């Protein structure tokens, strides 16, 4: 039997996946290759599923592998591949360091809650909304926490080291700018971390068995797993040691039963039993206990829960509308963008909103950090999803990184040629804000940075030049907006709700007589 | 600068900086006690077919790099690495030229040579794709990032009309010798970018310059200690769509190179090489009026080398 090794194998696999996933979200130096990123994230359930629905491509079957794995061995995903699951194990590890021992006791299943959350999530997904996943998908929660909270700390440490080294004329490391994030999104990331940490310390893996839609789905499947954990009805003397080490709190020692639908596959119980009475063996699907605990989802209950959800949703959206209205009253800037800008490859705001689970991997890998988490830029539908923030920076003309890494297909990969012709939005010039107009001095930053010369300069007044925009060749990269020195900006990018095809800038070979003499 | 002003300034900066180390930095910027090298020419202009050979001949006619760099000194070379573009697009200084300059510095006895720029595009791509990172490293120089405000320290510009303060890269402040290696290009902000404009890549807060009379700020900044040597790469020249350019179509071959210690003179000469009169570039006029250098090329002793 492998039983004594299962826990060790689980820990090793978990550490590998966890470390790699953590590093992906921290890597501000962009050292990870796309192949490695793809490989690490291939098995993440929700991204893989969303991408599959999005593209209907059979090369994306990571989620199917997980389903098969679950039908074989139960929810091993939750303790080896899911980064949030392992993060909870890390919390529990540290809790054990400070407190002598974590002692768990059996908890009754909250089937009604967990399965209705799962069903509502699926219904939302079918209706084309990822909002439930933005708040509940474990991978995306982990991404938000790491990208918004852990990464800045690592960058800060890096920057301190750089400063220290530069005092000794050592420039082998380099600093990285930490952009101040949108407070709304930051608060949510902190909330996620605090809630997960608190739930873990207080109730161990309750998140996985109450709120996590992936956990509930895989839990439902694991009722039919071929291999299951069970107690030996003859040798078990109900000492309760196995129940005391069960993080999922699913071993019912009184009835000598294991609720395998809640088992997260940590295998801690296997070698805990002094009588060798916990087995991980081939089982006939659906034993009596599970039938008893099968979800009792009456139509009425379901309607109530959906209704409550709808009301809370409306509540949030009405709050945001109120905020928006009041904001308008106070802000005097003449620039009002009709549409936000989404990253290159996201096709349209709709496609983007419907597929992004706000994992912030694009935020983490973007070399210029133009991709920033938003709060309500896209409304409730795209709450917390990242946006192109041209106050933070602008989109690098030759970079394809976000599309290459996006695990859900919200941002699809582009070729360089496609990217350089993808119009995310159009620059709009506001003459009355422009330095050249207001101060009668040269500026031209916008045109200087424009990669296609969609922003060009023409003669103005006496001996000056003023910008003008050729919208057909503008790709909406935001360089002009970012560098514009005025406040409010004299040039800004109005997002295209659906990305368009820009014209290729025309160039003409400069022909000029060159002299062999000096002109002086 | 008057002696009294200088002392006053030193006292103020001492109080502000609080350390003698910082004071040292500031002193260097005002060019205190730096002897100007006794040179045979005010300006050397070279035409040829290889920028490396052109520089060899040009610097030789000035008496060699040892006129500017002495044993054990710390040298900073500041090319234009502003854009994420390959060398053929002539958006950045020719990497072979940068490499050769670094080699000359080491041959003259430099202890360390640093190369950096505060780039416009994403700095890592600029450093790599310009070919300058590799070229400089091959010659033994240390490549230094310019991408973080923490490298830049505030400096007063007492002679400035609009620009009274700037945050300057610590390498400019700390080095014994400062060699400015711009590339001549068309420029949508300032008409042309040459030597004075290239110094914008040594400061952090240049958005202020754009918002406060760009030409005046460019001239103002040059009232600080000037580079010990300016070398203008005018071999491949971006004639339109500068400073970033769209493609190689923007570039023509002018086969030229200029070397001078006078930053205004070299800009005036480069403007002529480009095909403009120096009077058409406002910051050259302003700098000349402020007495930073000589704009009238007829007053200069020019060595013209045609290879």
Looking at residue A498, its pLDDT comes to 97
* Greatest mean pLDDT among A50-59, A274-283, B157-166: B157-166
For residue B256 the two structure tokens come to 């030229």
Q: Can you name the CATH fold of A421-505?
A: Alpha-Beta Plaits (3.30.70)
Q: What letter would DSSP give residue A380?
A: G
Buried-exposed string A248-280: b where 16+ CB fall within 10 A, e elsewhere: bbbbbbeebbbbbbbbbbbbbbbbbbeeebbbb
A229, with CB counted inside 10 A (0-12, 13-18, 19+), is buried
pLDDT of residue A320 exceeding 90: no
Those residues whose C-beta lies under 8 Å from the C-beta of residue A212, and which sit 6 or more positions away, are A84, A136, A138
Residue in A444, A508, A514 nearest the CB of B188: A444
Beta strands in chain B (DSSP E): 43-47, 74-79, 112-115, 142-143, 152-156, 165-169, 177-181, 183-187, 191-193, 229-238, 251-260, 302-306
- What string of DSSP letters covers A123-188? HHHHTT--HHHHHH-HHHHHHHHIIIIIHHHHHHHHHHHHHHHHTTT--SS-----PPPPHHHHHH
**Of A272, A274, A304, the residue nearest A120 (C-alpha):** A304
**What residue segments make up the domains of chain A, in order of their start?**
3-292, 421-505
- In this complex, which of A163, A456, A485 lies closest to B211 when CB atoms are compared? A485
Mutation to test the A interface, candidates B122, B200, B243, B306, most A Cβ within 10 Å: B122
> Which residues of chain A lie closer than 8 angstroms to B269, CB-CB?
520
Residue A234 near residue A223, CB atoms below 8 Å: no
Burial class (CB in 10 A: 0-12, 13-18, 19+), B207: middle
pLDDT one digit per residue (tens) for chain B, 307 residues: 455 555 555 444 443 444 444 444 444 454 433 445 689 999 999 999 999 999 999 999 999 999 999 999 999 999 999 999 999 999 999 999 999 999 999 999 999 999 999 999 999 999 999 999 999 999 999 999 998 898 999 999 999 999 999 999 999 999 999 999 999 999 988 999 999 999 999 999 999 999 999 999 999 999 997 899 999 999 999 999 989 999 999 999 999 999 999 999 999 999 999 999 999 999 999 999 999 999 999 999 999 999 9
Q: Tell me the two tokens of residue B305.
A: 């080398």
Name every chain B residue with its beta carbon within 8 A of the beta carbon of A465: 188
CA distance A239 to B39: 96
Q: How far is A452 from chain B (nearest CA, A)?
A: 6
Proportion of chain A above pLDDT 90, given as a percent = 73
CB of B207 less than 8 A from some CB of A: yes
The complex's ipTM works out to 0.88
- State the DSSP code for B131: S
Average the pLDDT over A149-174 and give the result.
91
**B73 Cβ under 8 Å from any chain A Cβ:** no
B249 inside 8 A of chain A by CB: yes
Exposure of A241 by Cβ count < 10 A (0-12 exposed, 13-18 middle, 19+ buried)? Answer: middle
Reported as a single tens digit per residue, the pLDDT across A219-248 is: 999 999 999 999 999 989 999 999 999 999
Q: At A418, is the pLDDT very low, low, confident or very high (cuts 50, 70, 90)?
A: very high
How confident is residue A304, by pLDDT bands cut at 50, 70 and 90?
low
SS3 A506: coil
Cα distance between residue A281 and residue A228, in whole Å? 6
Backbone angles phi, psi at B291, to 5 degrees: 80, 25
Bridge partners (DSSP) of residue A456 are A468
The verdict on A381 touching B (C-beta cutoff 8 Å) is no
Q: Are strands B142-143 and B112-115 parallel, antiparallel or unpaired?
A: parallel
- Partner-chain contact A512 B239, CB within 8 Å: yes
Instruction: Give the one of A171, A441, A519 whose C-beta lies nearest to B145's C-beta.
Output: A171
Residue A141 has pLDDT above 70, yes or no: yes
Mark yes or no for CB contact B239/A174 under 8 Å: no
Q: In the predicted model, what is the mean pLDDT of residues A91-100?
A: 87
């Amino acid at each position: 039997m492998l039983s004594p090794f299962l826990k060790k194998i689980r820990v090793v696999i978990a550490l590998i996946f966890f470390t790699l996933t953590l590093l992906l979200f921290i890597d501000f130096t962009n050292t990870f290759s796309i192949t490695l990123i793809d490989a690490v994230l291939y098995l993440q359930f929700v991204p893989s599923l969303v991408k599959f629905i999005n593209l209907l491509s059979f090369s994306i079957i990571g989620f199917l592998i997980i389903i098969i794995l679950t039908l074989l061995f139960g929810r091993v995903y939750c303790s080896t591949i899911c980064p949030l699951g392992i993060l909870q194990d890390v919390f529990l590890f540290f809790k054990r360091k400070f407190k002598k021992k974590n002692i768990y006791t059996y908890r009754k299943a909250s089937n009604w809650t967990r399965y209705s959350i799962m069903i509502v999530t699926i219904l939302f997904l079918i209706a084309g909304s990822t909002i439930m996943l933005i708040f509940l998908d474990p991978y995306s929660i982990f991404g938000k926490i790491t990208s918004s909270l852990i990464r800045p700390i690592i960058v800060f440490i890096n920057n301190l080291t750089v400063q220290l080294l530069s005092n000794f004329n050592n420039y082998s490391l380099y600093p990285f700018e930490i952009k101040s994030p949108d407070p709304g999104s930051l608060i949510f990331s902190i909330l996620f971390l605090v809630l997960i940490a608190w739930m873990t310390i207080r109730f161990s893996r309750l998140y996985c068995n109450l709120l996590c839609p992936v956990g509930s789905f895989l839990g439902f499947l694991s009722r039919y797993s071929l291999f299951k954990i069970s107690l030996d009805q003859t040798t078990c003397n109900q000492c309760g040691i196995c129940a005391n080490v069960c993080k999922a709190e699913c071993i019912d020692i009184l009835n000598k039963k294991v609720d395998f639908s809640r088992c997260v596959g940590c295998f801690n119980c296997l070698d805990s039993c002094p009588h060798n009475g916990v087995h991980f063996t081939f089982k006939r699907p659906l034993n009596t206990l599970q039938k008893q605990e099968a979800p009792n989802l009456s139509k009425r209950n379901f309607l109530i829960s959906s209704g409550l959800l709808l009301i809370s949703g409306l509540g949030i959206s009405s709050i945001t509308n109120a905020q928006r209205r009041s904001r308008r009253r106070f802000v005097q800037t003449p620039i009002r963008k009709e549409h936000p800008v989404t990253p290159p490859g996201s096709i349209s705001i709709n496609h983007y909103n419907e597929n992004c689970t706000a994992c912030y991997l694009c935020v983490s890998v973007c070399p210029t950090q133009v991709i920033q988490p938003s709060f309500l830029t896209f409304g409730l539908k795209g709450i917390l999803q990242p946006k192109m923030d041209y106050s933070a920076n602008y989109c690098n003309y030759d970079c394809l990184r976000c599309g290459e890494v996006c695990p859900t297909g919200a941002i699809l990969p582009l070729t360089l040629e496609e990217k350089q012709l993808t119009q995310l939005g159009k620059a709009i010039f506001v003459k009355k804000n422009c330095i050249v107009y207001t101060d009668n001095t040269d500026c031209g930053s916008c045109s200087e940075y424009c990669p296609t010369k969609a922003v060009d300069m023409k003669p103005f007044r006496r001996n000056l030049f003023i910008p003008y925009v050729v919208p057909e060749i503008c790709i909406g990269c935001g360089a002009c907006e970012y560098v514009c020195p005025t406040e409010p900006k004299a040039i800004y990018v109005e997002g295209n709700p659906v990305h368009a095809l820009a014209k290729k800038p025309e160039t003409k070979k400069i022909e000029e007589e060159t002299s062999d003499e000096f002109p002086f | 600068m008057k002696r009294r002003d200088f002392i006053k300034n030193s006292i103020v900066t001492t109080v502000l900086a609080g350390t003698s180390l910082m004071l040292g930095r500031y002193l260097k910027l005002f060019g205190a006690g730096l002897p100007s090298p006794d040179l045979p020419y005010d300006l050397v202009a070279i035409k040829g077919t290889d920028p490396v050979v052109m520089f060899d001949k040009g610097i030789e006619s000035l008496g060699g790099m040892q006129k500017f760099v002495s044993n054990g000194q710390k040298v900073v070379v500041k090319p234009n690495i502003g854009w994420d573009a390959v060398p053929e697009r002539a958006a950045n200084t020719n990497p072979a030229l940068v490499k050769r300059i670094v080699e000359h510095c080491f041959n003259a006895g430099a202890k360390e040579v640093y190369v950096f720029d505060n780039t416009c595009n994403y700095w890592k791509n600029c450093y790599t794709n310009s070919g300058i990172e590799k070229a400089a490293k091959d010659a033994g120089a240390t490549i230094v990032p310019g991408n973080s405000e923490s490298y830049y320290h505030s400096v007063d510009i007492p002679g400035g009309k609009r620009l009274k303060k700037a945050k300057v890269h610590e390498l400019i402040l700390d080095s014994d010798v400062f060699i400015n290696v711009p590339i001549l290009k068309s420029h949508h902000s300032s008409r042309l970018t040459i030597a004075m404009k290239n110094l914008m890549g040594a400061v952090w807060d240049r958005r202020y310059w754009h918002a406060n009379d760009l030409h005046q700020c460019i001239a103002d900044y040059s009232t600080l200690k000037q580079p010990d040597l300016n070398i203008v790469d005018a071999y491949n020249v971006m004639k339109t769509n500068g400073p970033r350019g769209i493609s190689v179509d923007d570039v023509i071959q002018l086969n030229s190179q200029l070397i001078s210690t006078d930053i205004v003179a070299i800009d005036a000469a480069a403007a002529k090489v480009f095909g403009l009169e120096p009077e058409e570039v406002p910051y050259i006029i302003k700098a000349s009026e402020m007495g930073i250098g000589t704009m009238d090329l007829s007053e200069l002793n020019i060595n013209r080398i045609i290879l």
